[in-house]
């Protein structure tokens, strides 16, 4: 389990959160305060060199807010990451410049600090466990529904990582074999049905098929630009029946996925986060009802679905906590016992 640091009350950690939309940096204190927070749009068409330079600059700027030299840099990065090497692999929802980025090595050399890189979902799970909705839990699953859909599994107080640090890609479990093609190449993945871009594409299909619909009018008012998940959420709030139906279908897929998670992992909690899920608080109630009705006993009596509590700060707080995670050497020692 992530342990409170014993480095003293003044100790700080530098944190970097690299998302598909924003890159954030801050100095994080031992009790979770963010100092010198910085945020800049991710240059979506940027080269690897441009993205790396921006990451280093924001981290450097945030470092100046630290009252003492930070103990290291934790990096929360979108997409598959090898936490041992700090290399990022072809994330399906992010700029091309990300693929193969040697993030860890570059930042270590550039900033002169110890660097730990991990998946954004793992970082968010650590943050919720320490400061948010999963406090006191050693068995939980953090599920995010946003531009992508993914999960982090905390089992026996430790993140489940798999052989390559890539475990937890629950967004690529197929829920509709004849459904839309996913960024990973298969059809009907949960991500291709329920993540923000999937919701936008479903609304676009409906708008094209039905030019008299409210969604078609909305599309026209945007100059024909593709609809996005947040457009659909706003239209649903305004009472558009098609938008409501699309979100209900996405919600049903997520709720079904939550029941699967309960059956497979027997967690104490499922923490639901990410922009799409946070905009649909009714999914929490629906998921709890489905778990009590449809999950297997005894897991269904224990599991509780709750909303993430840390919002946009979760990535930075979690990135800072990555430095307290057990090293591979420690894990190997533990396994030999
Ligand atoms: Zn997929």
Which percentage of the chain shows pLDDT scores above 70?
A: 91
pLDDT at residue 20 in the model: 78
CA of 258 to the centre of ligand 1 (A): 17
CA of 147 to the centre of ligand 1 (A): 13
Q: What average pLDDT does this structure show over 124-129?
A: 97
- Strands 115-119 and 73-77, bridge-based pairing: parallel
CA of 237 to the centre of ligand 1 (A): 29
CA of 269 to the centre of ligand 1 (A): 25
CA of 95 to the centre of ligand 1 (A): 17
Q: What average pLDDT does this structure show over 99-110?
A: 88
Q: Which two tokens stand for residue 82?
A: 């090898």
pLDDT digits (tens, 9 = 90+) for 5-39: 445 677 999 999 998 788 999 999 999 999 999 99
Of 89, 95, 29, the residue nearest 65 (C-alpha):
29
CA of 278 to the centre of ligand 1 (A): 22
Q: What average pLDDT does this structure show over 292-314?
A: 96
Spell out a b/e string for 218-228, using b for 16 or more CB atoms within 10 Å of the CB, else e: bbeeeeeeebb
Q: What average pLDDT does this structure show over 82-97?
A: 68
Please check the confidence at residue 95 and state whether its pLDDT lies above 70: no
CA of 336 to the centre of ligand 1 (A): 35
CA of 91 to the centre of ligand 1 (A): 11
Q: Which has the minimum average pLDDT: 94-103, 190-199, 206-215, 237-246?
A: 94-103
CA of 167 to the centre of ligand 1 (A): 14
CA of 205 to the centre of ligand 1 (A): 20
Helix axes 241-265, 196-209, angle to 10 degrees: 150
Which percentage of the chain shows pLDDT scores above 90?
A: 75
């Amino acid at each position: 389990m992530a342990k409170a640091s014993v480095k003293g009350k003044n100790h700080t950690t530098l944190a970097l959160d690299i998302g598909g939309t924003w890159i954030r940096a801050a100095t994080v204190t031992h009790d979770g305060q963010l100092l010198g927070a910085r945020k800049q749009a991710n240059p979506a068409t940027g080269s690897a060199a441009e993205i790396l330079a921006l990451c280093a600059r924001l981290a450097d700027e945030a470092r100046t807010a630290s009252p003492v030299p930070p103990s290291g840099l934790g990096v929360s990065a979108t997409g598959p990451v090898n936490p041992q090497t700090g290399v990022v692999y072809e994330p399906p929802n992010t700029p091309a410049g990300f693929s193969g980025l040697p993030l860890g090595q570059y930042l270590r050399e550039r900033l002169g600090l110890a660097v730990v890189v991990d998946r954004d979902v793992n970082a968010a799970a650590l943050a919720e466990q320490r400061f948010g909705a999963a406090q006191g839990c050693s068995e939980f699953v953090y599920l995010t529904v946003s531009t992508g859909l993914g999960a982090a599994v905390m089992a026996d107080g430790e993140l489940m990582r798999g052989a390559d640090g890539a475990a937890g890609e629950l967004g690529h479990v197929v829920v509709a074999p004849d459904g839309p093609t996913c960024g990973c190449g298969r059809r009907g993945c949960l991500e291709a049905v329920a993540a923000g871009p999937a919701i936008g594409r479903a609304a676009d299909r409906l708008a094209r098929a039905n030019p008299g619909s409210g969604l078609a009018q909305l599309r026209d008012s945007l100059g024909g630009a593709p609809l996005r998940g947040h457009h659909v959420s706003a239209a649903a709030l305004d009472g558009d029946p098609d938008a409501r139906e699309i979100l209900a279908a996405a919600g049903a897929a997520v709720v079904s996925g939550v029941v699967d998670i309960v059956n497979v992992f027997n967690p104490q909690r499922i923490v639901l986060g990410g922009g799409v899920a946070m905009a649909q608080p009714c999914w929490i109630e629906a998921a709890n009802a489905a778990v009590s009705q449809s999950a297997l006993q005894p897991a269904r009596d224990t599991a509780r679905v709750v909303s993430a509590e840390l919002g946009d700060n979760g990535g930075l707080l979690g990135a800072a906590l990555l430095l307290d995670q057990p090293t591979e050497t420690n894990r190997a020692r533990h396994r030999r016992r």
